[in-house]
Amino acid sequence: MREIVLDTETTGLDPLAGHRIVEVGCLELVNMVATGLSFQCYFNPERDMPTGAQDVHGLTEEFLSDKPLFADKADELLAFLGDAQLVIHNAQFDLGFLNAELERAGRARIANPYVDTVSMARRRFPGQRASLDALCERFGIDNAHRTKHGALLDSELLAEVYLELSGGRQRDLGLAPEMTGTATDGTAAANNRPVRPARPHMVSTAELAAHAEFLKKLSDPLWSKA
């Protein structure tokens, strides 16, 4: 199964108030394993950068001024997403911004199925913090290098969190493909190892005789009182 872990950085909290996407970061998973393929791009938001947003991700107006517009990269992003299931932390936020940008660029809204890892975390740990940092701490995922939010870095951390929320690294007990019967491409793998004959479990005549001799040595056994 192909999935895309996705994150965005923005100029604010509400696309309907004129806030824009300034970064998108995605990475590909196939059968819950990162393939090494990713998509990352900064965008010129065509507006100012509020101080509060800059404090979160560190992206300045000056840095973004020569970056492409979202519309210029929309087709490339959509091609990378394909029809994969999306994995997003607080999905309504990111999808709201992505769909606003796509509509502005004259593209169709995203219709991919998606998994919201915030909802997953709240179901698994009701009443507990569900931020990405909190989940990294809970699962022992090293995020010390995350001094600022970054879309691709956050996607990489989220991929690890998603694996843990989905059952952790013991989902398949870490068995090699030839042990699980699954090839690296997800198809059934041929197992060419020799088949060991089944072990005999019937009691032999010699074992029965030895057991009978042992019983003769017992005095006043419990079963004789039943």
DSSP string, 71-116: HHHHHHHHHHHTTPEEEETTHHHHHHHHHHHHHHTT-PPP---EEE
Q: How does DSSP assign 152-189, residue by residue? A: HHHHHHHHHHHHHHTTGGGTTTT--HHHHTB-TTSSBP
In this predicted structure, the answer to whether residue 174 has a pLDDT above a threshold of 80 is no
Question: Which of 49-63, 133-147, 211-225 has the weakest average pLDDT?
Answer: 211-225
Q: Which of 59-63, 169-173, 176-180, 203-207 is predicted most confidently?
A: 59-63
199 falls within a domain: no
What pLDDT, on the 0 to 100 scale, is given for residue 205? Answer: 80
123 falls within a domain: yes
Q: How many domains does the chain fold into?
A: 1
The pTM for the full model equals 0.73
What pLDDT, on the 0 to 100 scale, is given for residue 224? Answer: 67
More confident position, 181 or 2 = 2
215 falls within a domain: no
178 falls within a domain: no
124 falls within a domain: yes
Q: Give catalytic status of residue 149 as yes or no.
A: yes
First to last CA, the chain: 61
Q: Which of 19, 57, 89, 149 is catalytic?
A: 149
| CATH number where 159 lies | 3.30.420.10
24 falls within a domain: yes
95 falls within a domain: yes
What pLDDT, on the 0 to 100 scale, is given for residue 149? Answer: 78
In this predicted structure, the answer to whether residue 56 has a pLDDT above a threshold of 50 is yes
Q: If you average pLDDT over residues 162-191, what whole number do you get?
A: 56
In this predicted structure, the answer to whether residue 100 has a pLDDT above a threshold of 50 is yes
What is the domain range of residue 29?
A: 2-169
SS3 assignment, position 204: coil
More confident position, 71 or 148 = 71
141 falls within a domain: yes
